[in-house]
Structure 1
Amino acid sequence: MEIEFYGATERVTGSCHILRVGRFTVLLDCGLIQGSDVEEALNRAPFAFDPERVEAMILSHGHIDHSGRIPLLVKRGFTGPVFTGDATADLARVLLLDSASLAERDALDRRKHPRTAADRHAEPLYTRDDAVRALNSFKPVPYGRRFPVVPGLEACFRDAGHILGSAVVELWLTEGGVSRKLVFSGDLGQYGSPILNDPEAVTDADALIIESTYGDRLHRDYDQTLQELGEIFNSASRGSGNILIPAFSIGRSQELLYLFARHYEEWGMQHWQVYLDSPMAIEASMIYLGYPELFDREALASRNDKRLLPTLKNLHFTPKVEQSQAINKERSGAIIIAGSGMCNGGRILHHLKHNISRPECHLLITGYQAEGTLGRQIVEGAAEVEIHGRHYPVAAAVHTVGGLSAHGDREDMLRWVSGFKSSPRVFVVHGDPAAKEAFRNSIEERLQLTASIPRPGERYDFSS
């Protein structure tokens, strides 16, 4: 029995690892690689395994960098079940169908307006039909229920506190009379963040695979983050501009609306028109409302008061394209929440074209920006950016508010790892090189555990 490290070893995105027990092969996640055009082209490369020989898959949560290649896996021959949390199964339907639609539109645009000879024959990575076939293989399992995956392997999902339905995965492996336990962190949330519960503790394991997205830094104190947000909104309301918030459709968008409702007067929200300009975020918000048993106490109380999705006079859902286009006539007083969260596609690009060169406008960055993305360029201070083939000077005020991240920071993750009463062998993945290196060092120095950063294709044998 062994684990082979595959995706999210050289970068943050593309989570995917190969677990072998006896004659069976099981995947942990199968996510899209996101970033530059060069990196995203890697999604079309052959898998490091034969999809037809994979018996089952386990999905930690719905974010596209963990789930986004499942339709491609099915397209290339995978026919097994995909075990995941019940809320994740619902959210994945929204995410994967949207991802397929984007891929189809991109291929069509390239064929209509080719820049290279290859563009004339562009095909989508996968289609909506592929996504539907993949979604039909999903097997939802609630938190806390131990279930069989293949002979010799059982699993259980624990609440990771990252987004709705996100899971830490416990795995029990048995082969040749030898039993071992592996834990896969998936993505861990912050302690004390709104709506969701804190990451659930796991106390024993022989080996641990853990993410390191923010393994080299600390988020700003949450109370200070809320104060900063209030200051931005109140100050911006006097500047006659708009506020753009590129936000992930699942997690961040719901959290922002929740905070707008709770701080309506304090933040001067009555001075704004708030647009949730994302069909996927709107649909995801409805799914959030369907799982009150996964909320923390504060959010559950708000939900009982019918305030989880704020019933604000100035909140507008704009699912239709023409509604989104109409927002760009607003020259001031608009807060626009739109995807994608890293500014590498979606409706936020159209709003950036109309606002990023206006010094009276504001761009509020509330989440991680991967290397190679437009969001990363802006955060790093680019004076000019390219959007849809045209260049735009960056004159809008850019605010990076790290305290709202759905990912735990270094101390959150160390706190979670310190909950193990055993001394697992630790493998650090899912982070930029500097973050992985720093987090590995922190684990070894502060927790006295053996930790390493696996290379792509590296294997670890549990039976020894």
Structure 2
Amino acid sequence: MLRLTFHGAALGVTGSCFVLDTGPVRVLIDCGLFQGSKTEKELNYRAFPFRPESIQAVVLTHAHIDHSGLLPKLVREGFQGPIYATRATADLCSVMLPDSGHIQEMEVEQLNRRNARRGRAAAVEPIYTADDAAEAQRLFKPVELGGWVAVADGVRVRFWNAGHLLGSAAIEVEAIENGQRTRLLFSGDLGPAHKLLQSDPAGPQDVDYVVCESTYGDTDRPEVTPASRRALLRDEVQAARRTHGGALLIPSFAVERTQELLVDLVALMGSGELPQAPIFIDSPLAGRATAVFEAHAGEIENGDAFRRALSSRHVRFTDTVEQSKAIDRVRSFHIIIAASGMCEAGRIRHHLKEWLWREEGTVLLVGFQAQGTLGRILQDGASRVRIQGEEIDVRARIRSLDLYSGHADAPELAAWLKARLPIQKGVFLVHGEEPAIMALKDRASSFLPTGRILTPRLDESFALTPDGAQSIETAGPSRIRPEQIGHLDWHNDLSRLLLDIGDAVRQAADERARRVVIRRLRRALDESGPAH
């Protein structure tokens, strides 16, 4: 019985991981990190819901960490098969996965120091290390777009350009089980029509099943051209400079979005539409990824503009921590592009702590912000946030410019799906929060039977039968409740409560009133019992 199981990106955006099981053979499509709330991120520390050594091969859609980021853990825990990906994806993973391992080592070390000071003895281990990532890299097998590749007995794949990221691909899979041939198409992440460095996504027609991303399934962006997008960026930069001065912080994924922003900012300064100002790319990963882009410049759209941007005298890449901290001494208006795009890790946190409380700062969010992340909390209008345990007032302007997203919007997703018709047996909608998935389901029902549009839950398995997909029972308890995916969790609630308590105490009229607030809180804790 051919079976497909969804171990990630199910009613949530991150952790893409799907197992295709023919009986004798198991192939993994993607193996990504969970991001978002702490409850979701804790899944990264747990055992895989399958035995890594039982997987014969991995097929990777692209290098983004929510699709590739658990590969080093998979290898460390027993997988020794090939990892098939485009050459550009393999090259990007060679810098992104070690960087991810290094960040985990560094953040766990900091966490263990904080816990030791708090009297918490149990040490936390990183999910994997930079050395684990280097070990995984030796298993990569680069493939070209367009040709069939046998990846395991009875399973072959073909890669199609997904238009999302350098090297990104939608993956067509042909599986033979008991003489029955089934064709599936995994979209990976699909790029929008206006991507600066990528061509439009493609794919085959007349497959049995499509597994389609839904990140922006409830979003209809305004029509935009590269010129109009650049004009909107110009206006945001001008407003940040003219109204507030100081710094413009752009939290950005180190791969592709940073490079796109760089091209547009340098072009605007070169044309005189923006005054000249230093642009700091404060991310060692972005620097290394940019070198990969430069090596593959012949494969991307606007490669010449990309090369010109790299040679601009306004662009300054920082590598060391000392170079990063030195940016704080810049007094004139400047632009800082730093990872991560959702403000969850990396050097952007340092810059946010430096600028969020200052009215002369501006934060420009340029991509999707998953529920529970610091970026989403800022986007939703928080007046105070906690960063690494420190309370910070938000006085800086928070702006959003979603036109640099690497994802297709709802009309583009629907158009891509429609172009795959006929789809013989069913569509699985994944990689989206529930409202986005349900909105795309409604849109797709105009050209697909509603009963054949499926919305899998985390760890749900489907038998792919001649009559269509049928949900089947899975062994073991659920790793996480459905309502915990793509939502704020108790960690977010606790952070909000601590901020609200601080506000209530500070806003009390005098010391007596502050003591009343504290007594009421103490009474509530005492009445709640020993569980607290």
* TM-score (structure 1 length as normaliser): 0.95
Residues 230, 137 of structure 1: alpha-carbon distance in 2 compared, 3 angstrom cutoff:
same
Give the fraction of aligned pairs with identical amino acids, expressed as a percent.
37
1:280 maps onto 2:285 in alignment? yes
Aligned-partner Cα distance in 2 for 1:167–1:54: 21
Aligned-partner Cα distance in 1 for 2:349–2:108: 18
Aligned-partner Cα distance in 2 for 1:461–1:448: 19
CA contact (8 A) 1:369 1:375 kept: yes
CA contact (8 A) 1:178 1:463 kept: no
Shift of 1:216: 0.4
Aligned-partner Cα distance in 1 for 2:157–2:127: 30
Shift of 1:421: 3.2
Counterpart of 1:45, as a letter, is R
Q: Which protein is richer in helix relative to its size?
A: 2
**Residue in 2 that maps onto 1:295:** 300
Q: For 1:50-89, list aligned pairs within 5 A.
A: 50-89=51-90
Q: Secondary structure at the match of 2:214?
A: coil
**Residue in 2 that maps onto 1:352:** 352
Counterpart of 1:251, as a letter, is E
What is the aligned residue count? 459
1:234 maps onto 2:234 in alignment? no
Structure 2, unaligned stretches of length 5 or more? Answer: 467-532
Shift of 1:267: 6.4
Higher mean C-alpha displacement, 224-233 vs 168-177 = 224-233
Aligned-partner Cα distance in 1 for 2:439–2:414: 12
Counterpart of 1:389, as a letter, is G
Counterpart of 1:206, as a letter, is D
Shift of 1:330: 1.9
Identify which of 147, 154, 165 aligns with 2:149: 147
Aligned-partner Cα distance in 1 for 2:431–2:462: 17
Q: Secondary structure at the match of 2:14?
A: coil
Counterpart of 1:225, as a letter, is R
CA contact (8 A) 2:11 2:437 kept: no
* Larger of the two Rg values belongs to structure: 2
Residues 263, 34 of structure 1: alpha-carbon distance in 2 compared, 3 angstrom cutoff:
same
Aligned-partner Cα distance in 1 for 2:119–2:165: 41
Identify which of 192, 196, 199 aligns with 2:198: 196
**Residue in 1 that maps onto 2:384:** 384
**Residue in 1 that maps onto 2:311:** 311
- Post-superposition Cα deviations, 1:104-131, rounded to whole Å, max 9, x if no partner, equal 1122222322166666422111112211
Aligned-partner Cα distance in 2 for 1:6–1:122: 24
- Post-superposition Cα deviations, 1:331-363, rounded to whole Å, max 9, x if no partner, equal 431100000110011100111111111112211
Counterpart of 1:326, as a letter, is A
- Post-superposition Cα deviations, 1:63-97, rounded to whole Å, max 9, x if no partner, equal 00001111111111111111111100010111110
Q: Secondary structure at the match of 1:445?
A: coil
CA contact (8 A) 1:222 1:404 kept: no
Counterpart of 2:305, as a letter, is S
Aligned-partner Cα distance in 1 for 2:222–2:253: 20
Aligned-partner Cα distance in 2 for 1:2–1:117: 47
Q: For 1:324-335, list aligned pairs within 5 A.
A: 324-335=324-335
Counterpart of 2:129, as a letter, is T
CA RMSD of aligned residues (A): 1.7
Residues 267, 28 of structure 1: alpha-carbon distance in 2 compared, 3 angstrom cutoff:
farther
CA contact (8 A) 2:210 2:423 kept: no
Shift of 1:5: 1.6
Residues 397, 119 of structure 1: alpha-carbon distance in 2 compared, 3 angstrom cutoff:
farther
- Post-superposition Cα deviations, 1:296-329, rounded to whole Å, max 9, x if no partner, equal 2xx04536xx42x342221111111111000011
Aligned-partner Cα distance in 2 for 1:418–1:336: 40
CA contact (8 A) 1:22 1:152 kept: no
Shift of 1:408: 0.7
Structure 1, unaligned stretches of length 5 or more? Answer: none
Shift of 1:448: 4.7
Q: Secondary structure at the match of 1:103?
A: helix
